[in-house]
Amino acid sequence: MDDSIDRALDAVGPRLKRLRQQRETTLTALAEQTGISASTLSRLEAGLRRPTLEQLLPLARAYGVTLDELVDAPPTGDPRVTLRPLAGADGSTVIPLTRRPGGIQAYKFVLPAGDREPELRTHEGHDWAYVLNGMLRLVLGEHDLVLGPGEAAEFDTRTPHWFGATSAGPVEFLSLVGRQGERAHVRVTSGPKP
């Protein structure tokens, strides 16, 4: 086997352990979520066992990351476009989906479960958030909202706001942000044309 493949596979264990610790979950809880035994997860994290694709897929799903992030795969495709996730100190992951100057920017957020104290902030622009999985807590001014899968919120970012997951589990959502106040243009039809 190629040395670079060996090195990549050897680095998976510590990366899995770091992800689990960042999300403050136990091997037992992860085993229940993935269907992989706690002892196998422990051996994977310790580097005593090489992961298979059948193990990496449910782990990536549980952590809300890509397979590329789990194995630190080299970038592919157009080098000007990178969808590399950015890890936050709080266990969050942000994946930039667009890379163009100006205009509306798109991001995918994965936030770990928790009961964090909201830290409201403001900035220029307009935001549109759409929940993919989990429950998103959105504090918007004096409103404290919980949005579920398929629900969206749109607001002026000069309104004090904060996003977070609930204690029920992590949340995955898309965010379109117009830094200069641009808004997403929604087109709908009210019925068939006469």
Whether the CB-CB separation of 126 and 183 falls below 8 Å is answered with yes
Q: In the structure, what pLDDT confidence band is assigned to residue 79 with cuts at 50, 70 and 90?
A: low
Could you tell me which residues are beta bridge partners of residue 139?
A: 144, 162
Segment 37-46 shows an average pLDDT of: 94
**Residue owning tokens 């897929």:** 57
Q: According to the model, what pLDDT value does residue 193 have?
A: 60
Q: In the structure, what pLDDT confidence band is assigned to residue 23 with cuts at 50, 70 and 90?
A: confident
**pTM of the predicted model over 0.75:** no
**What does each C-alpha distance from 35 to 24, 30, 39, 43, 177 come to in angstroms?**
18, 8, 12, 15, 37
pLDDT beyond 70 at 100: no
pLDDT per residue over 142-187, tens digit each? Answer: 999 999 999 999 999 999 999 999 988 899 999 988 866 555 555 5
Q: In the structure, what pLDDT confidence band is assigned to residue 101 with cuts at 50, 70 and 90?
A: low
Question: What is the three-state SS of 91-125?
Answer: CCEEEECCCCCCCEEEEEEEECCCCCCCCCECCCC
Whether the CB-CB separation of 65 and 110 falls below 8 Å is answered with yes
pLDDT per residue over 5-17, tens digit each? Answer: 777 778 889 989 9
Average pLDDT of the chain is 83
Angle, CA 92 vertex, CA 146 and CA 121 arms, to 5°: 60
pLDDT beyond 80 at 60: yes
Instruction: Please name the residue ranges forming H helices in the chain.
Output: 3-10, 12-22, 27-34, 38-46, 53-63, 67-71
Q: According to the model, what pLDDT value does residue 43 have?
A: 94
Tokens of residue 143, six digits: 């409103």
Amino acid making up residue 131? V
Pairing status of strand 152-156 against strand 126-133: antiparallel
